[in-house]
């Protein structure tokens, strides 16, 4: 989307499009179930056998499932013990009603993270239809309850965790927050990761949760010190603008809009459930990027 191109770091856009390409490959190959493992995913012992068992368990309870999170962050505790993550959920919105499906399967409240998940063939088509354009962080966008038709589940216990090292999505380095410990023991997410993820960028400046909290503290101190309605109004406008920008970037995208490159062909195709392969471009794209015809071979010169 225009907002994503303008206000998201390139790493956020690239991550979104990588998952789009994966969904496209699942559709093209006709896989019944596929598993996404990002390069910073850490697998628990017995991952393969436990993963098959959880997918079989989920299929027995809901044959039409779309996505099963094998690992997650955010409000993803099976018993609802979310702690500070509830502040994130309240800010981002898009919460689901948490409920337990079986001993090892549940519906998470407001999960984040795409480092490990299983997707069915139906789920790949649904995700491609619901996320035709890079809009925001792929996990916060795709797992939002705004996509009410997505049958999203998570397994318990988690089978994979994120290492939170060498992130390329464009956030700040952990810096002083590196030694703060874990924000959530269940998800094993450190404060350094939660505080330094990119929210949006303005030129070379990247807004992160840590900077946003510092801005809130500075605004509050200014209001208490000056007791000026002008200062209060300016601080409220600034913080409200940050929140509104994040909400606008993370809003659902209409599938009637042109899809982002390279998902030009398949996003519209899966929306209409047309039998088009994932790599097939639209006629307009094919004409735009067509290579010029090769020149005819030269005739040998006469002796």
Query: Does residue 284 surpass a pLDDT of 60?
Result: no
Residue 132 lies in a domain: yes
Q: Which of 63, 244, 81, 44 is nearest to 159 (CA)?
A: 44
Query: Does residue 47 surpass a pLDDT of 80?
Result: yes
* Sign for the pseudo-dihedral over CA of 223, 235, 75, 36: negative
Query: Does residue 257 surpass a pLDDT of 50?
Result: no
Average pLDDT, the chain: 78
Residues 267-271 have a mean pLDDT of 39
Confidence of residue 91 (pLDDT cuts 50, 70, 90): confident
CATH of the domain at 84: 3.90.550
Residue 269 lies in a domain: no
Residues 288-292 have a mean pLDDT of 34
Between 193 and 179, the higher pLDDT residue: 193
Residue 43 lies in a domain: yes
CA distance 121 to 59: 13
Query: Does residue 247 surpass a pLDDT of 60?
Result: yes
Digit-coded pLDDT (tens) for 120-169: 999 999 999 999 988 888 988 899 888 888 999 999 999 999 887 755 55
Residue 150 lies in a domain: yes
CA distance 255 to 268: 7
How far separated are the first and last CA of the chain, in Å rounded?
62
What is the span of the domain harbouring residue 100? 2-197
* DSSP secondary structure code for residue 72 in this structure: -
Residue 300 lies in a domain: no
Residue 256 lies in a domain: no
Residue 277 lies in a domain: no
Token digits of residue 135: 């809009």
Number of domains the chain is built from: 1
Between 217 and 177, the higher pLDDT residue: 217
Q: Which of 37, 162, 42, 156 is nearest to 112 (CA)?
A: 162
- Return the percentage of the chain with pLDDT > 90, whole number: 32
Confidence of residue 19 (pLDDT cuts 50, 70, 90): very high
């Amino acid at each position: 989307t225009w907002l994503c191109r303008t206000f998201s770091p390139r790493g956020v856009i690239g991550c979104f499009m990588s998952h789009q390409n994966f969904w496209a490959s699942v559709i093209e190959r006709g896989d019944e179930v596929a598993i996404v493992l990002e390069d910073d995913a850490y697998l628990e012992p017995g991952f393969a056998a436990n993963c098959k068992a959880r997918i079989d368990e989920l299929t027995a309870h809901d044959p039409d499932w779309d996505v099963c999170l094998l690992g997650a962050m955010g409000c993803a505790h099976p018993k609802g013990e979310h702690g500070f993550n509830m502040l994130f959920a309240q800010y981002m919105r898009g919460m689901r009603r948490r409920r337990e499906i079986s001993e090892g399967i549940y519906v998470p409240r407001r999960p984040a993270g795409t480092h490990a998940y299983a997707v069915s063939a139906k789920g790949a088509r649904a995700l491609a239809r619901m996320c035709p354009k890079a809009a925001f962080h792929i996990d916060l966008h795709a797992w939002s309850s705004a996509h009410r038709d997505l049958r999203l589940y998570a397994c318990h216990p988690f089978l994979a965790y994120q290492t939170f090292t060498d992130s390329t999505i464009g956030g700040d380095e952990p810096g002083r927050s590196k030694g703060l410990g874990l924000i959530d023991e269940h998800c094993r997410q450190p404060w350094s990761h939660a505080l330094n993820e990119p929210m949006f960028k303005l030129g070379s400046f990247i807004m992160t949760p840590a900077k946003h909290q510092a801005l809130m503290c500075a605004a509050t101190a200014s209001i208490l010190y000056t007791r000026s309605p002008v200062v209060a109004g300016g601080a409220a406008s600034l913080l409200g603008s940050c929140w509104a920008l994040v909400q606008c970037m993370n809003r659902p995208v209409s599938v009637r809009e042109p899809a982002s490159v390279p998902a030009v062909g398949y996003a519209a195709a899966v929306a209409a459930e047309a039998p088009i392969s994932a790599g097939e471009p639209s006629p307009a794209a094919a004409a735009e990027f067509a290579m010029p015809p090769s020149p005819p071979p030269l005739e040998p010169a006469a002796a």
